Structure 1
Amino acid sequence: MRKILILNLVIISFLSCNQQAATKTSNNNVIDQKVDSLLQLMTLEEKIGQMNQYNGFWDVTGPVPSAGDAAKKFEHLKKGWVGSMLNVRGVENVRKVQKIAVEESRLGIPLIIGFDVIHGYETQSPIPLAESASWDLEAIKKSAQMAAKEAAAAGINWTFAPMVDISRDARWGRVMEGAGEDPYLGSKIGVARVEGFQGDDLSNPYTIAACAKHFAAYGFAESGKDYNTADVGLSTLYNTILPPFKAAHEAGVKTFMNSFNELNGIPATGDKFLQRDILKGEWNYEGFVVSDWGSIMEMMAHGYAKDKKHAAELAANAGSDMDMESYAYVNELASLVKEGKVSEEHITDAARRILRVKFELGLFEDPYKYCDESREKEIIGSKEMHDAALDMAKKSIVLLKNEDNLLPLKKNGQKIALIGALASDTNSPLGNWRLAAKDNSAVSVVEGMKAYKENELMYAEGTTLYLGETNFPSELVLNTTDKSKFNEAVSIAKKADVVVMVLGEVGYQSGEARSRSKLDLPGLQQELLETIYKVNKNIVLVLNNGRPLAITWADENIPAIVEAWQLGSQAGNAIAQVLYGDYNPSGKLPMTFPRSVGQVPIYYNYKNTGRPGPKKEVFWSHYQDETNKPLYPFGYGLSYTSFEYKNLKASISSGNIEVSVDITNTGTVEGKEVAQLYIRDVIASVTRPVKELKGFEMIALNPSETKTVTFKLTKDELGFYNNQREFVVEPGEFKIFVGGSSDSNLETTIDYK
């Protein structure tokens, strides 16, 4: 602590010598002055050290490493050659590494501590795709705020979230980590999460720095395979991929992460066009860019860099400011600067960006501000965290089908058969990114439904889902042969009034490196579903999954289907409250559900083509063996009540299009509806999609109540990027659609001049 106090005094002395300091009164300018003063004290190697991030490399409660790679990293830490560490968590551990950086290095520059706080720290909220299904921006913001608060209590001050990649391909496992297929919705949710993580004041010890990732086009990986190549044109890049990143930047996100994929032949980590021309040039972004894990080194495997030194040169010149676990910068950059292959200005600029975030976090004022043991005990796993997780989980559930009002379940006298290994699973609801969660800490569906004691509940596993153990780095081995548990499930189904079947994906079947070539129910679950259907057709199918699934048979045969995703620590309670009607579901799908994997990629905002159809002849854009229509469209979701839209009106005022519509609750219970506004720019200099989401609002309605909802379409909503990368708003005919999903047919037309 003494060293950092001395450092602050030195910085202050530099400031007092600067004649401009007195005229710069804003906090940002003061921080910039401090950063510039500190940079004057730093050697080239210390600046490069700020660009170096190491994973936790030893048990800080044990002996100091004395040999091997860990010993070398330890020496770098003491020299001030480490700017950040990740996967060091818990106040005791964070304090230990911070103490070395602050009290043993020459300048005592504090570390920024990173961790994958994706949808919670120890207490898990729903996976991000599930949260996106709520379309509730305030709830999503609060969820990120709670995650930040809990992570900060554990010593973390930087999260590698939100992921704002747009993806139209459910085969890609990381769709679970994003907001789905739409750039407008994705932008709004990205901003909500940034604001939740960072708050209004980053120096507040309950906030953490956020990271918009992965820059860019990671969600467009060919064939849905993780880490694969992406190849898109400028129109798709600027109009679909980049908008959520730009929105996150404008919301003040402090860091960006580049991506594993190459884009149009250039690995994103070494892509100057993305990082220097667009992000730091066109957008004037002042935060810093961190590589993804080892992605600098991986440019060798791409065939873009000949060795690690060449990779460091390419990445630094392209604008990657911090090296996550490639060891390329710390080992190679100094010699590259001396050889004139990387300018020292690039090094200074990167260090400046990183130091600025550390000052904004308040780490120079108090490097141990995130190391409060009392906060750690009070906040982590608290009732406040679990209450927030439960609220978010209920809002994330989507009702896909409910024939004959099979739902909600009756609370008295029903015999209910609960079937499925996932129904008793207390690990899978935690999802894929649950690194700090306690194993088997989620509330299961069995536990949630047992709270409704008036009904007789019978449980059977039905089938084992996988063989062996599941964990983050290992492939999952599915059970495809053992049907020995079918008979018990059939037996209780025969006795039941209603069967609730919880089927879907194990928690580690979605997420990073979890691509799938099939989107059906994995293993023996489809056969189990059909077997139970033969003896009892009153089935409620509850899906636990991290991506859209192709469940066409279920849609054709099962009367009630609930999309319950992987809902986190309070999953079972949330599902039970929805099934029994204590909470009326209002979620809407953030991704299109295909009928079959052959339709993928499938998305609502497609282009019309020159032969749209349908036609009586074969010469139009379609499949021979499958309809073009999805199973469930983007924005779709039912309620225990019903809603009617009417009186759609549109007019032009002060250069904006003003839209109004009346919505009536035509059912018998109170409900919430997400009213959605879509447009189509009919004729444009660059072809536009058949529909584009440009507004939404959630309203609550009592039975028979009507409310008028209004929307305003400004130039921001009406414009697009042309092929010269210019944002333009072109006059002409616009179609306007309003309804409860992207499939709405309530429309009007307006001539915009």
Structure 2
Amino acid sequence: MEAIKLKELVDQMTVEEKIGQMIQLSSDFYNTTENEITGPMNEMYLTTEKMKTVGSVLGISGANQVKEIQRSHLESSRLGIPLLFMADIVHGYRTIFPIPLGLASSWDPKLVEQTASIAAKEAAVAGLHVTFSPMVDLVRDARWGRVMESTGEDAYLNQQMARAFVRGYQGPNLKEDVTKLAACVKHFAAYGAPIAGREYNTVNMSERQLRENYLPAYKAAIDEGSRLVMTAFNTVDGIPATGNSWLMNEVLRKEMGFDGVLISDWGAIGELIAHGVAENLKEAGTLAFEAGVDIEMMSAAYSSELKGLIESGTLDETKLDTAVLRILELKNDLGLFENPYRGADAQKETQEMFSPQNREVARMSAEQSIVLLKNEHVLPLRNDLKIALIGPNSQTRDLLGSWSWKGDTAETPSLYEGILQHVSTEQLVVIAEADMLDQSADEKLADVDVIVLALGETSEMSGEAASRTSLTLPGNQLELVKAVRRAAKPVVATLFNGRPLDLSAIVEEVDGLVEAWFPGSEGGTALANVLFGAVNPSGKLTMSFPRTIGQVPMYYNQDKTGRPINETNKTEKYLSKYLDVENTPLFPFGFGLSYTKFSYSALNFSHTTFTEEETVTVRVTVKNEGNVTGAEIVQLYVQDEVAKVVRPVKELKNFEKITLEPQAQKEVTFTLTAEALAYVHPDLMFAADNGTFKIMVGSDSENVQSETIRLITKLITK
């Protein structure tokens, strides 16, 4: 449909029909009989007539069901405006990939794009149009349960992953390619920084901090073309994001140039009352409407109050028309006016779901997401060993993680089943934790060569509304580790979890330690492949692992302090340090081991002094010193030595993943621009300064080689 016809359609609509487009309802309103829905309809101030005007639905999928609901809706809609169907397709639809924090550990945007493309294809044939993904919130506090849905603590890496997710979901043309979904970037803004890591809690930071660290990933997703943005539950400078006109109108719309659909999170408009910035739904609806929120998800401010506010002249109907036009443009760009059933296809649904090809990508993505944290000559395991498998996660199929809506744990191979692809049943003995704790299993371990200890969280322990005040292994797992040590056998601990954990109590007790996250539909197979060396691990952390909860929030790019600790002064007292633990993380950002060893040498620059019109080529030679092929993630960091504001001790500016055969080497090159050295100044201008910069290249944020360059520049502003 042409743009002019969309505007003509808006002109034909009544105020009630326009408001209906701005209302999103859950599946409860469509999966029940009319009698059962009376209560929810009353709570949402809806009538049967108003239901005919509703614009979108969340949480319904399945080609036949979606087509039937769409058909029924079109028959009752005066103007024949189709529904939008939306859902949380976060790390897979039917085929589940590793949680986003795990996918990010691959440091492979092309892989992330591929998983998002498969998720879109499966969801699209099931009738969906929009996914509430990617979540690009920068996170530094592992207590927050939704770190599992993030891609980590670094703004630069988050930008690359945000773009990859959007490309994978949307492709170049939503109308022509019905196997794609519209992406909805979330949660705008700074949702990942709640005080004390507590879900839905207040966020409090300076505007400079907001602009420098938290906004860039949203901007990257928007620049990549994300068609929707979701508001955050939290406050920004004391004002809830969903009713924050400055944040939405000035920053999102004007500065970032976002012209797509802005949707609230579930019930967020109504929650303005609980926040204490609105007395009732009328005031809440006014705040959200004036902030430019186009769709209200599952609260009743628009349905109950907007008509009266428009007709009384309190709110401008032209703004209503603008919001509705954005929604209709999205529907048009999805091709729904020409084909309201779009990609929904029951036959293709059967073919596409959980196909062997999709499962293969799930396995591969899990393998690349796994991070080897420790290896004292115990891994990879030989397939002639006798193995004891112990621990709460030894036979669990709870490997999908939060937001695995349509995933089926019954079809998810456990670690036990994965190991049996490498050894016989006679070589694998499973021992119950209770037997180990009461010391009755020592005899069973007598002829065992190695113990695999399967530890971690359950999927309910991370995700939305899953904040924790402790990051240690839950239950009796710490006792189990100590009990297993009695056998004096090599021990490999594996972890299924959705956040960085405090592993200080076990790291010295085990010979090998493998972080598998919640690895998805093929996670058990993938982890076993890594354990037995069929796959050489290459994943690296995108969130730091603390030594203790007392260090949290823990992140690698902390600001410099006036009393820094270093190797020469660490015995002194009056420094920025703890009395009882090191400042450093247990495992730093960017860290991950391999079954081979990489060396770095010959760090050099095309020139050591440059101007804003020039670029610097950074070169480093990386060699595989071992006897197996391996992949290495080469990381480039920068430190601004003198600036107008205190700068971080280091910042990631680029990375490259390379694969090297045994004894092979490669010169890796990075191009560094003056803009890459810019930052947000006290006047909130983005600029680079004259001065020296330490350039660091290495295998993680702590193991780097460094040299200094100088930038000579006029002020670069952006």
Q: For the structure 1 residues 661 and 546, does the alpha-carbon distance in structure 2 shift closer, same or farther, using more than 3 Å as the test?
A: same
SS in 1 for 2:591: coil
Kindly indicate whether the alpha-carbon contact (under 8 Å) linking 2:437 and 2:480 is maintained by their aligned counterparts in 1.
no
Whichever residue aligns with residue 110 of structure 2, its letter is E
Kindly indicate whether the alpha-carbon contact (under 8 Å) linking 1:645 and 1:739 is maintained by their aligned counterparts in 2.
yes
**Deviation per CA, 1:256-275, whole angstroms, max 9, x where unpaired?**
11111112211111111211
Query: What is the CA distance between 1:442 and its match in structure 2?
Result: 1.5
Kindly indicate whether the alpha-carbon contact (under 8 Å) linking 1:669 and 1:703 is maintained by their aligned counterparts in 2.
yes
**2:457 corresponds to 1:505:** yes
Cα distance in 1 for partners of 2:506, 2:440 equals: 22
Q: For the structure 1 residues 190 and 492, does the alpha-carbon distance in structure 2 shift closer, same or farther, using more than 3 Å as the test?
A: farther
Q: For the structure 1 residues 136 and 223, does the alpha-carbon distance in structure 2 shift closer, same or farther, using more than 3 Å as the test?
A: same
Q: Which residue of 1 aligns with 2:603?
A: 648
**Deviation per CA, 1:471-512, whole angstroms, max 9, x where unpaired?**
xxxxxxxxxxxx887556555334311000110100111100
**2:431 corresponds to 1:460:** yes
Kindly indicate whether the alpha-carbon contact (under 8 Å) linking 1:256 and 1:289 is maintained by their aligned counterparts in 2.
yes
Aligned counterpart for 2:183 among listed residues 199, 206, 210: 210
Kindly indicate whether the alpha-carbon contact (under 8 Å) linking 1:260 and 1:267 is maintained by their aligned counterparts in 2.
yes
Query: What is the CA distance between 1:440 and its match in structure 2?
Result: 3.0
Aligned counterpart for 1:249 among listed residues 222, 242, 265: 222
Aligned counterpart for 2:312 among listed residues 339, 347, 368: 339
Q: Which residue of 1 aligns with 2:715?
A: none
Query: What is the CA distance between 1:341 and its match in structure 2?
Result: 2.7
Q: Which residue of 1 aligns with 2:126?
A: 154
Q: Which residue of 2 aligns with 1:20?
A: none
**Deviation per CA, 1:719-753, whole angstroms, max 9, x where unpaired?**
12223222112221111000000002300100011
Q: Which residue of 1 aligns with 2:404?
A: 434
Q: Which residue of 2 aligns with 1:577?
A: 529
Cα distance in 2 for partners of 1:715, 1:37 equals: 48
For structure 2, which runs of at least 5 residues remain unmatched after alignment? 713-718
Whichever residue aligns with residue 406 of structure 2, its letter is A
Query: What is the CA distance between 1:233 and its match in structure 2?
Result: 0.4
**2:302 corresponds to 1:350:** no
Q: For the structure 1 residues 592 and 351, does the alpha-carbon distance in structure 2 shift closer, same or farther, using more than 3 Å as the test?
A: same
**2:636 corresponds to 1:636:** no
Cα distance in 2 for partners of 1:490, 1:547 equals: 33
Aligned counterpart for 2:360 among listed residues 387, 405, 412: 387
Q: Which residue of 1 aligns with 2:421?
A: 451
For structure 1, which runs of at least 5 residues remain unmatched after alignment? 1-7, 9-29, 464-482
Cα distance in 1 for partners of 2:302, 2:487 equals: 64
Kindly indicate whether the alpha-carbon contact (under 8 Å) linking 2:675 and 2:687 is maintained by their aligned counterparts in 1.
no
Kindly indicate whether the alpha-carbon contact (under 8 Å) linking 1:648 and 1:662 is maintained by their aligned counterparts in 2.
yes
Cα distance in 1 for partners of 2:524, 2:322 equals: 49
Q: For the structure 1 residues 486 and 384, does the alpha-carbon distance in structure 2 shift closer, same or farther, using more than 3 Å as the test?
A: farther
Cα distance in 2 for partners of 1:380, 1:76 equals: 35
Q: Which residue of 2 aligns with 1:17?
A: none
Q: Work out the number of aligned pairs and report it.
A: 702
Query: What is the CA distance between 1:553 and its match in structure 2?
Result: 2.3
SS in 2 for 1:337: helix
Alignment RMSD, CA only? 1.8
Q: Which residue of 1 aligns with 2:19?
A: 48
Whichever residue aligns with residue 390 of structure 2, its letter is I
**2:244 corresponds to 1:292:** no
Query: What is the CA distance between 1:70 and its match in structure 2?
Result: 4.5
Aligned counterpart for 2:683 among listed residues 701, 714, 724: 724
Structure-to-structure mapping, 1:161-176, within 5 angstroms: 161-176=133-148
Q: Which residue of 2 aligns with 1:468?
A: none
Aligned counterpart for 1:87 among listed residues 59, 71, 85: 59
Kindly indicate whether the alpha-carbon contact (under 8 Å) linking 1:78 and 1:105 is maintained by their aligned counterparts in 2.
no
**Deviation per CA, 1:34-93, whole angstroms, max 9, x where unpaired?**
322221222222111111000012464867757333488885577542111001111122
The range that moved more, 311-320 or 57-66, is 57-66
Whichever residue aligns with residue 704 of structure 2, its letter is N
Q: For the structure 1 residues 581 and 346, does the alpha-carbon distance in structure 2 shift closer, same or farther, using more than 3 Å as the test?
A: same
Kindly indicate whether the alpha-carbon contact (under 8 Å) linking 2:451 and 2:490 is maintained by their aligned counterparts in 1.
yes
Whichever residue aligns with residue 596 of structure 2, its letter is T
- What is the TM-score normalised by the length of structure 2? 0.95
Whichever residue aligns with residue 665 of structure 1, its letter is N
**2:256 corresponds to 1:279:** no
Cα distance in 2 for partners of 1:714, 1:50 equals: 46
SS in 1 for 2:654: strand
Aligned counterpart for 1:314 among listed residues 284, 287, 307: 287
The range that moved more, 678-687 or 94-103, is 94-103
**Deviation per CA, 1:273-320, whole angstroms, max 9, x where unpaired?**
211110001112111111111011111111111011111111111121
SS in 2 for 1:704: coil
Kindly indicate whether the alpha-carbon contact (under 8 Å) linking 2:242 and 2:268 is maintained by their aligned counterparts in 1.
yes
Cα distance in 2 for partners of 1:201, 1:230 equals: 36
Q: Which residue of 2 aligns with 1:419?
A: 390
Q: Which residue of 2 aligns with 1:198?
A: 170
Q: Which residue of 1 aligns with 2:626?
A: 667
Structure-to-structure mapping, 1:566-715, within 5 angstroms: 566-614=518-566, 615=569, 616-652=571-607, 654-715=613-674
Kindly indicate whether the alpha-carbon contact (under 8 Å) linking 2:498 and 2:517 is maintained by their aligned counterparts in 1.
yes
Aligned counterpart for 1:328 among listed residues 301, 305, 322: 301
Q: For the structure 1 residues 66 and 83, does the alpha-carbon distance in structure 2 shift closer, same or farther, using more than 3 Å as the test?
A: closer
